[in-house]
Structure 1
Amino acid sequence: MQLTQVHIVLVSAQTAPNLLPALDPAMKPKKVIMLVSKKMCSQADALENVFRQNGIKTERINLVNEHDFKDLERTILNLAASHEIESIALNVTGGTKLMAIAAQSIAQAAKWPVFYVDVDTDEVIWIIDKAQHNHKLTEHLRLRHYLLGYGFEIDGQVERPQPDSRHETLIRTLLLNIGSLEHPLSQLNWLTQIAEDKKIFSVEMNDKQRDSLGLSTLLRHFEDAGSLKVNGSTIRFTDEVERDFVKGGWLEHHVYRTVESLTNELGIRDKAANLTIAKNGVRKEMDVVFMARNRPFVIECKTARMDKPEAPKANDTLFKLADVSRVGGLGANKMLTSYRNLREPEKKLADALGISLVCGEELNRLEEKIKNWVRN
């Protein structure tokens, strides 16, 4: 494929169509010229940041009125005149329809190649340039580039949990005994929360908890996994990491490891657990997030009880997940995984918010659920 020195892009709410060809080794330009409407200034800032980090120069053309077709044509004609000695290709994927029509009409007169990016197939389709064949993109967006494209920075380290045979055995036990372990797990979550709130690594059980056969059985499983030690009525957690694992991190670990096992089959390009991102001082936390088909997929993991009318945690969790997933463009795909089932009203709310659910016994079919979720 013949490389062009300059890409002209129409900045819109979707970053992937502008980033993908510019970062692709077979198409990477020396410079990107961005046509920017007033509404898309912050989006252009974010795009510019990614381009520059990848060694691509940028130029910005601010549009006075993106609804004035004649003005759009004049602006692009002036652009053509000032860059006539350079090889230029127009990426017509973004912007408004009017911007795209104006840009394409000038491109046709100037004999610029024009292409469109199909993010579903990772393919560049050439509209004007019969000498070019459709090109399968080799560059796939990583989490950092995608998030930067919308102005989000990754705050802290990116976690990618590693396999641990003791943990894997414990998780299988928890999943196979969802019905019988629900109540003791609630008790253990509550005790672990006390330790976390006090920033300590031990907690005392009351007489009822100490005499609970279900809780004793559950504690023994976590003890075998090296997460804690039980001495009489005292539960002592191994360290902060294991305390977090006991309080619900085990489900995040399981979800992440399931996603990792599907990496090749689903074309997953990047993934992380416990990811914190920030924009304009506002932080968002994601339990598990991954990129597939150049789109983000966000999974919230919950082991706490959310199925009782007196505990309005399910609604809070669903609204939080919907908000966290607004990381750009049309937003991320959203899923809630829960050790316990939700009530019908919460299920209806999840459906209204576009959130897929994998709850209770369905966790034993998590792999199948994630496959269908990504493919659909």
Structure 2
Amino acid sequence: MMELKLTIINRAVPGSGKTTALKTIEDALDEYGVDTKSDFKVHSTDEFFMVGDKYVFDIAKLNDYHKENLENFKESLIMGVKIVICDNTNLLPWQCKAYTDLARLYDYKIVFLNIEPKSLEEHMETQKVTVQNPSAHNVSQDILERNIKDWRIYNDLLDKNTPINPIRHRHYVWDRENKCRKDVGVTEHFDTDFVISLPSWWDKEIIKNRLREIIKSIGKYDCIFHTCGNEKMPLVWALRGLNAEDNTMCILIHGKDHKEIIGVAQKFTQNAKIYNIEVDVFNLQEIKNRIKDFIEKHNLMSKKIAFNLTGGTKIMLLAGLSVATELKKKAFYIDTNQNLYSLNDNILKERIRPLSRVSDFLKANTQGLEIIQDTDMNKIKSKIGATRLLFDNKDKIRELYKRLYEYIDFETFKSKNFDIQIDSLCVSLNNKNLILKDKHQSVTINGDVDELVAYIIGGWFEEYVYLELLPLVEQGIIYDLQINTKLRNKTLAKYRHRDYQEFDILFTDGYKLFAIECKSGAIKAEHIEKLSHIKRQYGELGVICILIALYMPHHPTTKKKIKDSNFNVVNDDYAKNIVKLISG
């Protein structure tokens, strides 16, 4: 058996089942032939607080116990123990950095066992000390809430390719004098080679099978066959889930129209070698023969081969599974929740790592288009006072827009100077100054006239919604939030009007793309048509369309069009309702 040097870092909120997971890991290692009595060590700071079968926490001893646990962990590495586990919560990158640094120093591979949190109520239930569970830690509700939040905020940093988000990925240290967390800047990624991602309802077999694969180093394949149809996201998720590493052969099995699918593979792999097998997607025998011919021609039988059978027709799935079974190779399928299943034994392997950027979704379906993301937080923040003032006077916005039609061409944004008063609200444009007043405050914005006009006729509401959703990024509920993203036709670069598509607001929770159209005035047919176009054009990405309106429509035809289009409509408690839509 190959020599093992493996460090496992548990990352989970208290009550996620880490104790059961550890026993499962131990059982899996026993089955694989590891002597768990001598070559399996678990190091947990919590163990120092155990008095008999009860957990007695003393914060005064916490730092000393952390240091002692780290020393014991280091000793196991020095002794060459094959499997060394850090069984702390490890929710934040800096909490486990000392352990992963030691693992690198002593040439250990690093695996994170990452368990998705349950509901707060379920975690609270596990913390109750009972006769049946005397060792429960009795962690408070406040700490559990913060732990769940921290798990979500930093979860995507298990993927080293995730860009650091300076809003969400902050590094904190404990300020002993003020007894609070202190922000010291941007954090780093978790240091890891493999991740075992478990849903909150995880099953023991998921851990066992994934751990066996890691130990055998079959998580990285030499060659992966992908059945492909018109939809592009199944291929994107497979390229993430099956680790298309440098020099991996990616073979795309497809029908006649294949240029776009090749482009997707090129965008989501770096140095993988991409090949094509064009087939009649409804001819079972032809597909099987073409796959076997390719394997024989390239001498692949001795290589580590996998089949991703998510895309394409059912005939393609059957053909691929037949060849995989015959040649005793692995076959996988990814469901609509991005869970990776082994078709050989019908076992859930893991949930695929999230995509943390809006642009990751867009580039799967934007061949020939340039993605322009120019969210300028400084500009948005400089107008917060004006944005809040306008929202506070939202009952006057409808009348304001009626008056603005006298001064502004809403097509070209050309405007005369104006001075409009509606009750206590006063809005005036004087050259490059937009002045807003009500009975509580006065705010002046300076800038280009076109930009000021775009702001007052609707841009302010987009920025208000953006600011309302921004805390969801900080909480890790939203991974990426963009305002006024544009898709631009590269071939029309010399023309002024070259935008192919503009989105008011886009965001992702890591697995779905959400498109928001913001309307501060009357909702018209063209606004519904814009969302309908987005849904048609980007339906392959599973985009969820949301209409956020300052005023709900009253016209029966407009209401029917919205209903027929199956859009989500929100007109109050924007952040709260968005969270509901994300959770499903």
Is 2:243 the partner of 1:12? no
Q: How far apart are 1:129 and its partner, in Å?
A: 6.5
Corresponding position: 1:91 with 2:304: no
- 1:158 and 1:259, CA in 2 relative to 1: closer, same or farther beyond 3 A? same
Which residue in 2 is equivalent to 1:345? 557
- Structure of larger gyration radius: 2
User: Which residue identity lines up with residue 112 of structure 1 in the other structure?
Assistant: K
- Structure 1 residues 189 and 91: CA distance shift in structure 2, 3 A: farther
Secondary structure of the 2:383 match is helix
Gaps of 5+ in 2: 1-213, 429-434, 492-498
Q: Which residue of 2 aligns with 1:373?
A: 581
Match of 2:521 in 1: 304
Structure 2 distance, partners of 1:5, 1:61, is: 17
Does the C-alpha gap of structure 1 residues 271 and 350 become closer, same or farther in structure 2, counting only changes over 3 Å?
same
Maintained 8 Å contact 1:25/1:138: no
Q: Normalized against structure 2, the TM-score is what?
A: 0.53
Q: List aligned pairs for 1:1-376, cutoff 5 A.
A: 1=214, 2=218, 3-23=220-240, 28=245, 30-38=248-256, 40-51=257-268, 54-63=270-279, 65-82=280-297, 83-120=300-337, 122-128=338-344, 134-140=349-355, 142-152=357-367, 155=370, 157-162=372-377, 167-188=383-404, 191-193=407-409, 196-198=412-414, 203-205=416-418, 210=420, 212-213=422-423, 216=426, 219-221=435-437, 224-227=442-445, 239-263=449-473, 265=475, 267-278=477-488, 283-306=500-523, 314-325=524-535, 326-329=537-540, 331-343=542-554, 344-359=556-571, 362=572, 365-376=573-584
SS of structure 2 residue aligned to 1:220: strand
Q: Which amino acid aligns with 2:528?
A: L
Q: For the residues of structure 2 that align with 1:99 and 1:25, how far apart are their CA atoms?
A: 19
Secondary structure of 1:225 counterpart: strand
What are the Cα deviations for residues 230-275 of structure 1, in whole angstroms up to 9, with x where unaligned? xxxxxxx655433322221111112222333212656433332111
Aligned to 1:234: none
- Cα contact 1:166–1:224 (8 A) shared by 2: no
How many angstroms does 1:147 deviate by?
A: 2.2
The whole-number CA distance in structure 2 between the counterparts of 1:17 and 1:108 is 22
Residue 77 of structure 2 aligns with which residue? none
Counterpart position of 1:311: none
> What is the alpha-carbon distance in structure 2 between the residues aligned to residue 96 and residue 280 of structure 1?
33
Q: How many residues align?
A: 346
Query: Higher relative contact order by CA 8 Å / sep ≥ 6: 1 or 2?
Result: 1
How far apart, CA to CA, are the structure 1 residues paired with 2:288 and 2:464?
A: 54
Offset from partner CA, 1:79-138 (integer Å, 9 cap, x none) = 232322321111111111110011001101111111122342x432222279x9713333
User: Does the Cα contact within 8 Å between 1:126 and 1:134 map onto a contact in 2?
Assistant: yes
2-structure distance, mates of 1:166, 1:141? 27
Letter in 1 for 2:563: D
> Could you list the per-position Cα deviations for residues 276-307 of structure 1 after superposition, in whole angstroms to 9, with x for gaps in the alignment?
1146977111111122242221111122334x
> Relative to structure 1, is the Cα distance of residues 337 and 28 closer, same or farther in structure 2, using a 3 angstrom cutoff?
same
Distance 1:25 1:91 in 2: 8
Letter in 2 for 1:49: Q
C-alpha spacing 1:373/1:153, structure 2 compared with 1 (3 Å): farther
Distance in 2 of aligned mates of 1:153 and 1:80? 33
When residues 106 and 42 of structure 1 are mapped into structure 2, their CA distance, relative to the original with a 3 A threshold, is same
Structure 1 counterpart of 2:252, one-letter code:
M
The answer for unaligned runs of 5 or more in structure 1 is 229-236, 307-313
Residue 156 of structure 1 and its aligned partner are, at CA, apart by 5.8
For residue 16 of structure 2, what is the aligned residue in structure 1? Answer: none
- CA 1:51–1:168 in structure 2 vs 1: closer, same or farther (change >3 Å)? closer
Deviates more, 1:42-51 or 1:28-37: 42-51
Asked if the contact 2:386/2:443 (under 8 Å) is kept, the reply is yes
Deviation at 1:7, TM superposition (A): 1.5
Question: What is the CA–CA distance in structure 1 between the aligned matches of 2:527 and 2:482, rounded to whole Å?
Answer: 20
TM-score by length of 1: 0.80
- Give me the CA root mean square deviation: 3.2
